[in-house]
Amino acid sequence: MTEAIVWKHASERELAHLAARHSVDDCKSALAEIFDLDLADEKQSFLLDFHLHNYSYPLLLHACHGVRHFQLSQTSAFLGICQTLMKRDFARDSTTDLKSSFDFFQALLLTHSVNRSPKSVGIFSRDEVAAIVDYVTNTYYRHFQLYKCIYTPYYHVHLVQREINDIQTPKAPRLLSQGFLHTAKPLPHVETHVIADTQPPAETSEPPTGE
Amino acid of residue 102: F
Query: For 159-169, how does the pLDDT look when each residue is reduced to its tens digit (9 = 90+)?
Result: 877 766 666 67
Mean pLDDT of 114-139: 85
Query: Would you kindly state where each structural domain of the chain is located, as residue ranges?
Result: 12-151
Mean pLDDT of 130-144: 91
DSSP state string for 13-78? HHHHHHHT--SHHHHHHHHHHHTT--TT-HHHHHHHHHHHHHHHHHHHHHHHH-PPPPPHHHHHHH
Percent residues over pLDDT 90 in the chain:
11
pLDDT of residue 44: 82
Query: For 74-102, how does the pLDDT look when each residue is reduced to its tens digit (9 = 90+)?
Result: 888 899 999 999 888 888 777 888 999 99
Q: Rounded distance, CA 131 to CA 173, Å?
A: 76
Amino acid of residue 194: V
* Mean model confidence pLDDT for the chain: 79
Percent residues over pLDDT 70 in the chain:
79
Q: Check residues 191 and 169 and name the one with the higher pLDDT.
A: 169
- The contacts of residue 135 (CB under 8 Å, 6+ apart) are 57, 61
